[in-house]
Amino acid sequence: MTNTLFVVGTPIGNLGDLAPRAKECLGAVDMIVAEDTRVIGRLCHLVGITPRALRGYQGRHRITEPELLSALEIGDVALVSDAGMPGVSDPGAVFIALALEHGMQVRVIPGPSVLAAAMALWPKVISTACFFGFLPRRGAERSQMVAQVMSSPSVGVILESPKRLYETCAELATIDGSRQVLLLGELTKLHESMHWLTLSAAVTWLRGTEPRGEWAIVIDGARAVVPTEAESDRLLLALARSTLGTKEAAAIYAEVVEVSARDAYQQMLSSRSERT
């Protein structure tokens, strides 16, 4: 296959995790476009690869969009990040979009991923999950994202640096310190660590330690709070007295109280008939 952009996964810490297919691709393509050419240059050297051409997609000498398209017109290009999968908390996604927009072939060579590893280590069954990546560092944008993380019913995955790990856990704990979290440090590396505890306990633990390396925070989803019988009765009465249509009022009641749409509709009809 020619004129193809290969999206290639690279190790997140352990060199042995580089897939044979990824190694073969990096040695065969006409150009490697990397997040940091120094990092990928060292990786290629360690596994015995001599890149034909190596360009970066960040920094002063980053490859331009026209240069990437020209490279794809005459050969194959591999897109890699420093660690993991390009495009996941990584600016390389713009090049994937560019290739697709111009009708180029795009193929993936899957590899190590912090997101996949974090979800695999979560000790509960996962029905839905949400990847938040690195949270904004400050301001209203960060506050909104923290609120979104804590209100989501899905298991959440956050990436964090060791310097901000305590701050982030403390901020999350102010909303619900009892929420279960899995703190994952230095995944696949020599000093890999895993801590299964509540957010409050995580804050206490982090006060007495100096975490190193990159971390992932996996946090349990928000638990739905079902109203009491008295609260449900008050809500039913308020909706029955409202100017909402019966079907619309019943839909709201069904969602909040967690009953079937049919039962909610019958209860709404009954409540409204009693008022007439």
Tens digit of each residue's pLDDT (9 = 90 or more) over 135-180: 998 888 898 899 999 989 999 999 999 999 999 999 999 999 999 9
Where residue 162 falls (left for φ over 0; alpha for ψ -120 to 50; beta otherwise) is alpha
Residue pLDDT, tens place only, 68-121: 999 999 999 999 999 999 988 777 889 999 999 999 999 999 999 999 999 999
CA distances from 276 to 60, 242, 246, 265, 272 (A): 75, 14, 14, 17, 7
pLDDT tens digits, residue range 190-229?
999 999 999 999 999 999 999 999 999 999 998 877 778 8
* Alpha-carbon torsion (188, 189, 194, 200), positive or negative: negative
- Global pTM value: 0.77
Q: How far apart are CA 246 and CA 2, in angstroms?
A: 61
CB 121 within 8 A of CB 143: no
235's enclosing H/E stretch is helix 229-241
The DSSP H or E segment spanning 4 is: strand 4-8
